[in-house]
Structure 1
Amino acid sequence: MSAIAGIYRFNGEAVQSEHGGLIMEALRQYPANQSRLWNMNHIMLGCHAQWITEQSVQECLPYYDSNRGLAITADAIIDNRDELMDQLQVPHHPRQHMTDSEVLLLAYEKWSERMPERLVGDFAFIIWDERKQLLFGARDFSGARTLYYHHNEQQICFCTAINPLFSLPFIHKEINETWLAEFLAIHGVFEPPDVSTTIYNNILQLPPSHKIIIKNDNVSVTRYHSLSDVIPLQLASSEEYEEAFREVFNKAVTARLRRTNRNVGAHLSGGLDSGSVVSFAARALEHENRSLHTFSYVPETGFVDWTPKHRLADERPLIKQTVQFVGNINAQYLDFSGRSAFTEIDDWLDILESPYKFFDNSFWLRGIFEHAEQRDIGILLNGARGNYSISWGPAIEYYTKLLKNLKWLQLTQEIKRYSRNVGVGRRRLYSIVGRKAIPVLKQRSSSIASGDFPQLINSDYAKRVGIYEKLHDLTFTGIGSTDDLPDDPLEARRVHFERVNMWSATGTSNCKLSLRYSLWSHDPSNDLRVIRFCLSTPMEQFVQKGMDRALIRRSTKGWLPDSIRLNHRTRGIQAADSIHRMLSDWPVFLAELDRVSHDSRMQQIINMPVIHDALAEARQGISPNQAYNPAIKLLMRSVILYRFLQKNF
């Protein structure tokens, strides 16, 4: 794992050595085991390396092979290296010590520009091909590693992080107003759909699932496809699907565990996704006489759980059942006392180098990385994308499909069983399914839901920037919601994985947290092999016999306790104590919002009448049970943007 950097001069002039030095000096804000520069005339490559795997300790980056005329700098852990080395016919003897960058160079030599689509793992890399006189690079399919760049008529400069690019004397901060306007207009936590752009006008990023080629002074960025060859899987029985799932999932979970001598950690909630990851990891580590360290967020002392009975703000009762059943776990329950989304703002702005929206969980996300660093964790596992892969299985949407296809008998049997599992009456379930199946009713409920969140952007600003028409487009303002996705559940899932913007914010935050805390975040539920398997598996394996998320529930029999595996009625809810945590800082929060409302720049950008209404509500005092109140989202997003602008412009 590394932060990488480089400069390529178009006109053939030599890169000034001080420019490379400036970028590498700026990267010193991140911990590193080794920091190196390589320079050859008009090309400079840099690497600020953090050693995570056993092979990375032996890795010398940037690496240049004069015989092959190839140089590489890479921020990469390749999970399918064994399969790649088989295809590349690498002898067995040197495989154990072969570095990932060496595997990348061999893959480039064999498959050239088609090599990224064959890779499974997290990566961003740049290869200099001296013989072809071209620069070639790529970013992994979901954006788990970042790569930013600036180019003008003289050169292209790139880096894992944004701010080191501003250390160069010819790159200046200039706000990208289109990006900002779209960022504010989108109601959810998603960023603008054009992920090649950033908050800065002259800083671009290589989008996930894209490659970049610089040749003859031309810069070409194109998409590659990792999920285009998914073939429907047809097995003889449900048991065979379960066995096949366990095989591919176990490979995804354990791919990195055997490659690091450092400790292994994992996020653990009371649910299926993280529980499944933990159960497979703990069992694999036990064979090596190593234990798994788990980190679980719990509410702060004194918090009174206001959530409904079927929701748990404190998931300890569920987590402890998993820990006890699985075994070989060193469990830690962290309440992050004194921290809140408000106290975390400055740190997160430094980490992300950009405004952000996912403030609710910010205090424990960063806190877990801090605790993991203190325990020398090298790999920190999570199951964040599980809802779309391993634990996908939307029962209501599947039943809606049955209703539309007039499969009455199957629908009746499924509803009867599902009603018993979830504890909801059949009449109510039929009503829900009917509303989803009838377009007029669906459109009406969708419109009502969409109107619940006030528009944060000033309409005059939206007009000036040129995005005003998008404010009335629910598929834009509702990116990532049901307004934006197809009704058919299979098609909605396909679209989710097809769109590169759907997971880019998650990838970016995990990448930059990993750089700050010198550990690698890894999500086996986002492993391409797992995703391909899930996309190839019939929907009937994901919803059957009255069970949603049926494949993971069945496949983890013996791996998770039945009380977790078959739990349909109780679910954890994150950040329910977010307002409770902010109460001691509430006067400071209100005072800053007063400054926001009187700031001339913010008045041009933000819809101030909406902020004034939300601020009036906040002054009256917001109860802890209003943690998900839209007013809080509007106010926090405004404060975050205000601080970012104050800090950078």
Structure 2
Amino acid sequence: MSAIAGICHFYEETLNPVQTSNLMKAFQRYPADNVHTWNKNNIFLGCHAQWITPESIGEPLPYYDYEKKLAITADAIIDNRDELFDRLQVERTFRKTIPDSQLILLAYYRWGEEVPKHLIGDFAFMIWDEKKQKLFGARDFSGARTLYFYHDQSRFAFSTTIEPLFTLPYIEKNINEEWLAEFLAIPGMVEAVDTQSTAYKNIHQIPPSHSVTVEDGRVALLRYSTIQVGEKIKLNSNGEYEEAFREVFNEAVTSRLRTHGKVGSHLSGGLDSGTVVSLAAKALQKENKQLHTFSYVPEESFTDWTPKYYIPDERTFIKETVNHVGNINDHYLSFEGKSPLTDVDDFLDLMEMPYKFFENIFWLKGISEEAHNQGIKILLNGARGNHSISWGSWNLSMDYYASLFKKLKWICLNHELNQYCINNKTGKSVMLPIIAKRAFPLITKIFTNNHQIDYQFPSLINPAFAQKTKVFNKLQEYGVNSSGMLGKNLNEHRKNHYNHLFVWNKSGTATTKLSLRYSLWDRDPTNDIRVIRFCLALPEEQFVQGGMERSFIRRATKGILPDKVRLNHHIRGVQGADTIHRMSSNWKLFMDEIDQLCTDPITLEFFDIKVLKDSVEKLGKEPRPEFVWADEFKVLTRSLIVYRFIKNLN
């Protein structure tokens, strides 16, 4: 709910009031309900507060407990408040008014550095333990809130955003070549595998699931949480699995509705956001509050060019959900005249680093702005649902059927295929060869004489720069392959998705900084650690049975979502299909800048210019709508973003 910052001098060096003032002034670009600081001897804490929850109104931050000799500054919303109050034996008369920062402090007094293990929610905080002369802090398990830091032999400084740290005279603004090499070399959406690094040399970040301890001049990072599931949940029927899920997920949704303002939500025509919206609208009705939904739709002038199984304008399905659920004020935003190209500089300024989700930036930012204008303080989404509540894609279904094939479970396979063929209007003669190839891929290659080399995403990075930074050796150590997959199969990829922390950073960076700019919090119930652990413990067949991909969420939402949405197997919503349409008027400027990039001395060290020129040649000079799905388009847009970032540093 805040931007926080602080400085700790190790050897009782006097704090410079000009430096601490400048540190806080850098937050003035964001709205604030209150700004306070606290300092004592060699420690300074600051908070640029935005009031989101009822308890945060008028909350004293930083807060100093004179009895316990503890001070805290925090950017946090804690979702398991009732559980913590019970465990800490807090009197019921105080529970409604205690802000989350003071609850964290009570928990620290009880559990010490074990405290983040007991917290559920989105948080980043720092605590000054005066008795122990120790600074301790933590970031939530998925890194939903950011926390950056700098340290040298005599001091430690931290901040929610990076720019305030550069107001300190001893911190230089230099690019981190190792981070940049990872950004350029990784084909997928991951920015870097080193979760402590940032785009700037000497600026670090506390990784997701980590705490930091600053004591006696030493800075130590410790991972406090891993998502591991032992035995699978074993219940007696599908109905029991579905009921157990609804209980866990409903708690995740309702615990995120706590605000003194209005509640909004992203809403597409799919399963994840639809499930979030359905439960949220029902819970809010009990409080006499309405849920506001925000949906991105293409410009009116856009002509749909996509295959028939895609739908860029999801209003038909969205309105089905809205009408079925009720208690929803729905908004459809097309952002006429907006383009991701014209927003690059603004989003670089907001993110403070290069980014890869080029196609989405203008409407993500636009929805946050519109929600802010309508008084929204909590903005829900279902962004991480694909790996939790709606796991079970077509590929996973095929892998499951292949396992049945290999295990000679013919009766079960026949039943599943019958259902699959009915749902997807196909035949066994089509499906069995696909399943056989997945079951015995080596035999298939031998008999088909298939020696085709697997496709690789065009590499942006200059080979000499890659060699200098040894980036490919590093990626190999982290298990990132040329396709961006984190394992040999989907189940292994999913497991690694939760164990490898580098997949989390990009979304936490965007949501934290968007929330600060627009004074609202993005909150994702599909990312609740209780929900993730439950879904990971479900037997695999729960996700693919009945001939349905994403089977579990479809069954669990019966009556919650309309059947037109819940049982939709044939049409998939696709966002960003109008990207080239929006860029068409600026296409020549876009390509001219790429040409400039290819000859600019400041970038020749970093980019493989041949790959860029080949990408230009393949796309040609005239825009075509299907370019948005071309890897060459991704190569050029990512290169442009990095180019602008580097130029802005010089």
**TM-score, structure 2 normalization:** 0.96
| 1:59-93 per-position Cα deviation (integer Å, ceiling 9, x unaligned) | 11101112101010000000111111111111111
Greater Cα shift, 436-445 or 42-51? 436-445
In structure 2, relative to structure 1, the CA distance for the partners of 1:549 and 1:244 (3 Å cut) is same
Q: Residue in 2 aligned with 1:343?
A: 342
| SS of equivalent to 2:593 | helix
SS in 2 for 1:296: strand
Q: Write the letter of the residue equivalent to 1:34.
A: N
User: Comparing 548-557 with 199-208, which one deviates more in the overlay?
Assistant: 548-557
Change (3 A) 1:403 1:114: farther
Asked whether 1:437 is paired with 2:436, we answer: no
Q: Any idea what the Cα deviations from partners look like across 1:459-486, whole Å, max 9, x if unmatched?
A: 11111222255689994354742xx324
In structure 1, the residue matched to 2:288 is 289
**Which residue of 1 is the match for residue 57 of structure 2?**
57
- 1:371 is matched with 370
One-letter amino acid matched to 2:465: Y
3-state SS, counterpart of residue 516 of structure 1: helix
Which residue number in structure 2 is paired with residue 100 of structure 1? 100
Q: Which moved more, 1:149-158 or 1:627-636?
A: 627-636
1:586-645: CA deviations, max 9, x gaps? 121122122211101212211111111222344431311221111211111111111111
1:266 and 1:436 mapped to 2: Cα distance?
A: 39
- Map Cα deviations across residues 287-310 of structure 1 (whole Å, 9 max, x no partner): 222111111111111211111111
The question of 1:572 aligning with 2:576 is answered no
User: What is the CA deviation profile of residues 500-551 of structure 1, one whole-angstrom value per residue up to 9, with x for unaligned ones?
Assistant: 1112111111111111111000000001111121122222222221122222
Structure 1 residues 352 and 573, CA gap change in structure 2 (3 angstroms): same
1-side partners of 2:418 and 2:406: how far apart? 18
1:399 maps to: 401
* Contact 1:389–1:525, Cα closer than 8 Å, also in 2: yes
Contact 2:456 2:482 in 1 (8 A): no
Question: Does residue 1:459 correspond to 2:475, yes or no?
Answer: no
| Residue aligning to 2:508 | 507
Q: What residue is the counterpart of 1:314 in the other structure?
A: 313
- In 2, the alpha carbon distance for the partners of 1:442 and 1:141 equals 42
**Hey, what's the Cα distance between the residues in 1 that align with 2:119 and 2:530?**
10
Asked whether the equivalents of residues 118 and 226 of structure 1 are also in contact (C-alpha less than 8 Å), the reply is no
Deviations 1:212-250 (A, max 9, x none): 011111110010115346653222221111111111111
The one-letter amino acid paired with 1:405 is K
Specify whether residues 391 and 145 from structure 1 end up closer, same or farther in structure 2 by C-alpha distance, changes over 3 A only: same
Aligned to 1:517: 518
**What pairs with 1:3-14 in structure 2 (closer than 5 Å)?**
3-14=3-14
Distance in 1 of aligned mates of 2:178 and 2:324: 51
* 1:193 is the counterpart of 2:197: no
Map Cα deviations across residues 271-297 of structure 1 (whole Å, 9 max, x no partner).
Answer: 000000011111111122211111111
Q: Name the SS for the 2:91 alignment partner.
A: coil
Distance in 2 of aligned mates of 1:416 and 1:590:
50
The 8 Å contact of residues 189 and 357 in structure 1, kept in 2 or not, is answered as: yes
Once residues 205 and 108 of structure 1 are traced to their aligned partners in structure 2, the CA distance between those partners, rounded to angstroms, is 22
Aligned to 2:46: 46
Letter paired with 1:400:
A
Q: What residue is the counterpart of 2:588 in the other structure?
A: 587
**In 1: Cα distance, 2:129 partner to 2:90 partner:** 21
Q: Using a 3 Å threshold, how does the CA distance of structure 1 residues 472 and 92 change in structure 2: closer, same or farther?
A: closer
Q: How do 1:133-532 residues align onto structure 2 when only pairs under 5 Å count? A: 133-228=133-228, 232-257=232-257, 259-393=258-392, 394-440=396-442, 451-467=455-471, 469=473, 475-478=479-482, 480-481=484-485, 484-487=486-489, 489=491, 491-532=492-533
> SS at 2:345's partner residue?
helix
Q: In structure 1, what residue type is equivalent to 2:545?
A: Q
Give distance in 1, aligned partners of 2:472 and 2:488: 24
Give the deviation of 1:132 after TM superposition.
Answer: 1.6
Q: Residue deviations 1:525-584, cap 9 Å, x none? A: 001111121122222222221122222111111111011111111110110111111001
Are the counterparts in 2 of residues 175 and 200 from structure 1 also a CA contact under 8 Å? Answer: yes
SS in 2 for 1:476: coil
1:583 and 1:315 map into 2 onto residues whose CA distance is 23
Amino acid at match of 1:382: N
Q: 1:565 to 1:80 in 2, by over 3 A?
A: same
| In the alignment, structure 1 residue 560 sits paired with structure 2 residue 586 | no
SS of equivalent residue, structure 1 residue 545: helix
Partner of 2:96, secondary structure, is helix
Q: Out of 97-106 and 589-598, give the one that drifted further.
A: 589-598
Cα distance in 2 between the residues matched to 1:448 and 1:201:
42
1:497 maps to amino acid: Y
Query: More displaced, 503-512 or 516-525?
Result: 503-512
- The equivalent of 1:550 in structure 2 is 551
Q: For 2:544, what is the secondary structure of its paired residue?
A: coil
Alpha-carbon distance between aligned partners in 1 of 2:482 and 2:362, rounded to the nearest angstrom: 26
CA distance in 1: counterparts of 2:187 and 2:496, whole angstroms: 19
1:112 and 1:470 map into 2 onto residues whose CA distance is 35
Please tell me whether the aligned partners of residues 584 and 623 of structure 2 are also in contact (alpha carbons under 8 angstroms).
no
Q: Report the secondary structure of 1:264's partner residue.
A: strand
Look up the SS of the partner of 1:101 in the other structure.
Answer: helix
Q: Please report how far the alpha carbon of residue 377 of structure 1 lies from its aligned counterpart in structure 2 after TM superposition.
A: 0.5
Give RMSD over aligned pairs.
Answer: 2.0
- Secondary structure of the structure 2 residue equivalent to 1:112: helix
Q: Deviations over 1:325-352 (max 9, x none)?
A: 1111111111111111111101110111
Asked whether the 8 Å contact 2:193–2:478 carries over to 1, the reply is: no
**2:613 equivalent in structure 1:** 612
What one-letter code is carried by the residue in structure 2 that aligns with 1:593? I
| C-alpha contact (below 8 Å) 2:457/2:483 kept by paired residues | no
Please state how far the C-alpha of 1:449 moved relative to its aligned partner.
Answer: 8.3
Distance 1:472 1:599, change over 3 A: farther
Contact map agreement 1:423 1:569 (CA 8 A) in 2: no
Q: 1:647 to 1:169 in 2, by over 3 A?
A: same
Within-5 A mapping of 1:595-610: 595-610=596-611
Alignment-derived partner of residue 77 in structure 1: 77
Distance 1:167 1:346 in 2: 21
**How far apart in 1 are the matches of 2:428 and 2:131?**
69
Asked if 2 retains the 8 angstrom alpha-carbon contact of 1:14 and 1:43, the reply is no
C-alpha contact (below 8 Å) 1:399/1:433 kept by paired residues: yes
Task: Note the residue ranges of structure 1 that are not aligned, 5 or more in a row.
Answer: none
Q: 1:108-129 CA deviation, whole Å, 9 max, x = no partner?
A: 1111111111211000000111
Q: Greater shift after overlay, 132-141 or 407-416? A: 407-416
1:117–1:224 CA contact under 8 A, matched in 2: yes
Aligned positions, number:
645
Question: In structure 2, how many angstroms separate the alpha carbons of the residues matched to 1:474 and 1:37?
Answer: 40
**SS of corresponding position for 2:545:** coil
What are the superposed Cα offsets for residues 24-59 of structure 1, whole Å, 9 maximum, x if unpaired?
Answer: 000111111111111011111111110000001131
Is the 2:456–2:483 contact (alpha carbons within 8 Å) kept by the matching residues of 1?
Answer: no
Q: Displacement of 1:209 after TM fit?
A: 0.4
Q: Secondary structure at the match of 1:127?
A: strand
Q: Which moved further from structure 2: 440-449 or 42-51?
A: 440-449
- Report the Cα offset of residue 406 of structure 1: 3.2
Change (3 A) 1:461 1:542: same
The answer on whether the counterparts of 2:183 and 2:191 sit within 8 Å (CA) in structure 1 is yes
SS at match of 1:643: helix
Paired with 1:307 and 1:358, the residues of 2 have a C-alpha distance of 20
Counterpart of 1:233, as a letter, is: I
8 Å Cα contact 1:117-1:226 kept in structure 2: no
Distance of aligned partners of 1:260 and 1:614 in 2 relative to their CA distance in 1, 3 Å threshold? same
**Residues 403 and 437 in structure 1, CA contact (< 8 A), matched pair in contact too:** yes
Letter paired with 2:75? D
Tell me the TM-score normalized by structure 1: 0.96
